[in-house]
Structure 1
Amino acid sequence: MPQPPEAPDINDCCGNGCDPCIFDRHDMAMDAYRQALRAWHARQSSPEPQAGEQA
């Protein structure tokens, strides 16, 4: 099961207007995590192929 990225501490931001900011990078990592989690759930709910069947 995919694990969510660790959220940055509020004090991790330098406040210099970086692009992307550490919080932007976390948002992108969360998007990737949610996509990976959906794919993982889809694989878990798919029936296992029976002997002699193709996946």
Structure 2
Amino acid sequence: MSAPPEPKDDPPLLPPRPEPPDPSDCCMSGCLRCVYDLYDLNLERWEEQVASIRARQMQPKD
């Protein structure tokens, strides 16, 4: 019987980057929460998640 394979130190998968809205998604009526505002918020959250994942990846392992 062989030993189980050791886990690899593969980099963690990053969440997919948010897709920008299609220009036709905006109704151009000055909505309080425009699809572009929501995209900007999602992009900021994504950048924070990616930074957090990369920071954890850089931490030394015990």
* Range of TM-score over shorter length: 0.7 to 0.9
Contact 1:2 1:40 (8 Å CA) reproduced? no
Q: Structure 1 regions of 5+ residues with no counterpart?
A: 50-55
The equivalent residue for 1:38 is 51
| Structure 1 residue 48, shift from structure 2 partner | 1.4
Contact 1:5 1:26 (8 Å CA) reproduced? yes
Q: Match for 1:25: what amino acid?
A: L
Q: Percent identity?
A: 35
Q: TM-score, normalised by structure 1?
A: 0.81
Q: Structure 2 regions of 5+ residues with no counterpart?
A: 1-13
- Matched residue count: 49
- The alignment yields a C-alpha RMSD, in angstroms, of 0.8
1:6-54: CA deviation from partner (whole Å, max 9, x where unpaired): 11011110111111100000000000011001001001111112xxxxx
**Pair member with larger Rg:** 2
